[in-house]
Homo-oligomer: A and B are copies of this chain.
Amino acid sequence: MNDTNSAVAPPTGGPADPAANDGLVAANRILADQGVLDGYGHVSIRHSRAADRYFLSRSKSPAIITAEDIMEYDLDSNPVDQQGRLMYIERHIHGEIYKARPDVNAVVHSHSPTVIPFSVTTVKLRPICHMSAFLKNDVPNFEIRDCDGMTDLLIRNAKHGAGLARVLGSSNVALMRGHGNVCVGADIMTAVYRAVYTEVNARLQAQAIALGGPATFLAPEECELITGRRDTNFQRPWAMWKSRISIK
């Protein structure tokens, strides 16, 4: 969804790091190419030199975003320089998570297809392989009815965004019932990696359930050993994912 008006114009946090914004554009296109982002969904990064500012595209489908589309926001999700551009209504997802999570510098909101079914059932999404250990053993699920009763399910304001951030807590991923999910990370490669492998995990887990028989998930200790290591190596798939997209 999009938005046109904004009363407040906060000052800029300073010029964007061009490489960081190129990475943000790549992230949008990579996640569209990988089938994680549909025509909706969005990705943001925190301003590298101003912790109270973040960058997010104008209202546009991730697959076709360019560097010119990137806008700067404060953490109340007011644009620094709107220039009449349409804005994502749901940008409060990003602002409120950056407020609540100083460790987070990148946020992906998607309608990742195989993850949505887990948001509407009582079956929990759980880490089934080492690539998705970051899910750990308690992926929270945001039920917007608990936050604001009957709504159109969009994160339309700071109240909704803060409610989602609260449910996310210190996790890496939160589901959103009947809507999608958010994946966060200390940097854009980590958030993108998590968005891709959250979808992969959902597919694998759904297939394991369909096979029948008891399933062995990662033990909490295995999750800790994996997420705690320093050689995360997210740049390896990133280089391959990037080779598949073209940025004009």
- Residues in chain B near residue A214, CB distance under 8 A: 121-122
Give the docked Cα–Cα distance between A209 and B123 (Å): 11
Give the docked Cα–Cα distance between A65 and B60 (Å): 27
Residue-wise, chain A 138-154 has the 8 Å CB interface mask toward B (1 for contact) of: 00000000000011111
The reply to whether B111 and A129 contact each other, CB–CB distance below 8 Å, is: yes
Is A204 close to B, CB under 8 A?
Answer: yes
The reply to whether B231 and A116 contact each other, CB–CB distance below 8 Å, is: no
Contacting A113 at CB < 8 Å: which of B118, B179, B203, B222?
B203
Of A19-27, A161-169, A236-244, the stretch lying at the interface with chain B is A236-244
Residue-wise, chain A 179-196 has the 8 Å CB interface mask toward B (1 for contact) of: 110000000000000000
- Residues in chain B near residue A128, CB distance under 8 A: 116-117, 120, 178
Interface residues on A, range: 35 or more
**Copies of this protein chain in the complex:** 4
Contacting A63 at CB < 8 Å: which of B206, B213, B238, B243?
B243
The reply to whether A222 and B130 contact each other, CB–CB distance below 8 Å, is: no
* Residue picked from A117, A216, A243, most chain B C-beta under 10 Å: A117
* Residue picked from A59, A113, A128, A152, most chain B C-beta under 10 Å: A152
Contacting A179 at CB < 8 Å: which of B3, B129, B211?
B129
- Can you name 15 A-B pairs with beta carbons within 8 Å? A2-B236, A39-B240, A61-B236, A62-B240, A63-B243, A63-B244, A111-B131, A113-B203, A113-B204, A120-B129, A121-B208, A130-B154, A152-B222, A206-B211, A209-B210
